[in-house]
Amino acid sequence: MFHRNIKLILVALILVAAVWQFTESNIGNGIFLIFLSLVPLFLYFKNEFILLAFLQLRKQNFDGAKKWLSKISNPETALVQKQQGYYNYLQGLMLSQTNLLQAEKFFKKAIELGLNMDMDLAVAKLNLAGVAMSRRRKLEATNLIAEVKKLDKQGMLKDQIAMMKEQLKKI
């Protein structure tokens, strides 16, 4: 919605207003303004459109997620590096249903930019392994599956890893 620098300026202005309220002996208003300043500060690190796209993907609504991601006009300048990684990750997830070649580009860029959670990184690498298998690159797929196995600490991707290993044997 707002550029990331505007969010920081908004935080600074709200904090100045909070200090002013403290000097005027309006302690309650000052405390409220400090809590209010946390909202744009949170949205500086977590883009609101990416959060809404994640919620749509959770409901398996790919059209809704695409709609929210399309509202980010210029991700290179509007987002910080990790947010760009998640933007590319979400684009790759949506394209993996239809266009594997473009999805591969988005997943590689997401891994390059970085993802905060190991599980997201594991899913991106698992999808890349699937693309590599479909293009008959067995060695690359095997390496990616080994990395996914290391990243999957909770064992949530065990079934997918086992299924991919079975498919690798057939290649």
Same domain, yes or no: 96 and 20: no
**What was the pLDDT predicted at 109?**
94
Residue 90 has pLDDT above 90, yes or no: yes
Same domain, yes or no: 41 and 53: no
User: Confidence band (pLDDT; 50, 70, 90) for 81?
Assistant: confident
Residue 1 has pLDDT above 70, yes or no: no
Mean pLDDT of the residues in the chain: 89
CA gap 22, 171 in Å, rounded: 70
Same domain, yes or no: 112 and 32: no
Task: Give me the amino acid identity at 121.
Answer: L
Residue 133 belongs to what domain range?
47-170
**What was the pLDDT predicted at 168?**
83
Residues 6+ apart with CB under 8 A from 33: 14, 15, 17, 18, 21
Total domain count for the chain?
A: 2
Same domain, yes or no: 36 and 55: no
- The shares of helix, strand and coil residues in the chain, as percent rounded to the nearest 5, are 80, 0, 20
The angle formed by the CA atoms of residues 89, 95 and 97, to the nearest 5 degrees, is 120
Same domain, yes or no: 51 and 76: yes
Same domain, yes or no: 56 and 74: yes
**What was the pLDDT predicted at 31?**
96
